[in-house]
Amino acid sequence: MNRRQWILAGAGLGAAGLGGLLAWQRHGPAPLSEPAQAFWDASFERPGADALAAASLRGQPLLLNFWATWCAPCIKEMPELDQFQREFAAKGWRVLGLAVDSAAPVQEFLKKQPVSFPTALAGLTGLELTRKLGNLQGGLPFSVAFDASGEISWRKLGPTHLDELRELGATSR
């Protein structure tokens, strides 16, 4: 090929690359499902700390757990959620506990049984969010896993168990 053909080929490749980039910027990544977007758009109060924007946790796998201090199965699974956080943090997993409760009982509970993952308050409106995320019965505990793209990859109504959490952590990225 002569010099002119090389220049034309390079210009053509450059134009194609620029067109692809512009198309990606215009359309971006695939939009999230409505339930997933409802969570990522939310913000939650944290006892004794700044509010937590769910979007600040996006970009890595997240296990979201709705719980309450008055829910015996919720309390029972907290140590296993904490163990999952400690075991899978190095693999990029985060756990977030959202209490369907008020600040005082949550603070009191966490003094007695601290956890290594962040907790925030969803209050009674948290039950509405659980329904949007697939908890049609409105029961607790309720857990949802999001993949790194922010989409829902797993749901469970009822207490989780460490073995199933380990399986989730090992198979999801």
- Give 35-46 pLDDT, tens digit per residue: 999 999 999 999
Nearest to 35 by CA among 64, 3, 8: 64
pLDDT at 123: 86
Distance between start and end Cα atoms, the chain: 46
CA angle 80, 160, 165 (to 5 degrees): 70
Separation CA 52–CA 62 (nearest Å): 14
Strands 62-67, 94-99: parallel, antiparallel or unpaired by DSSP? parallel
Interhelix angle 72-88/162-171, nearest 10 degrees: 40
* Percent with pLDDT over 70 in the chain: 82
Please give the single-letter amino acid code of residue 154.
W
How far is residue 83's CA from residue 115's CA, in Å, rounded to a whole number?
9
User: Cα 65 to chain center, whole Å?
Assistant: 10
Distances (CA, A) of 52 to 46, 47, 61, 97, 155: 7, 10, 17, 12, 22
Whether residue 24 has pLDDT greater than 50? no
| Other C-beta atoms lying within 10 Å of the C-beta of residue 74 | 23
Give the pLDDT score at 21: 47
Q: How many residues does the chain have?
A: 173
Fold assignment, 34-171: Glutaredoxin (3.40.30)
Confidence of residue 121 (pLDDT cuts 50, 70, 90): very high
Amino acid at 26: R
CA pair distance 2, 56, nearest whole angstrom: 53
Q: Pick from 93, 143, 96, 155: which is nearest to 120 by CA? A: 96
The pLDDT of residue 78 = 97
Which residue's entry shows tokens 């997993």?
A: 93
User: What is residue 57's DSSP assignment?
Assistant: G
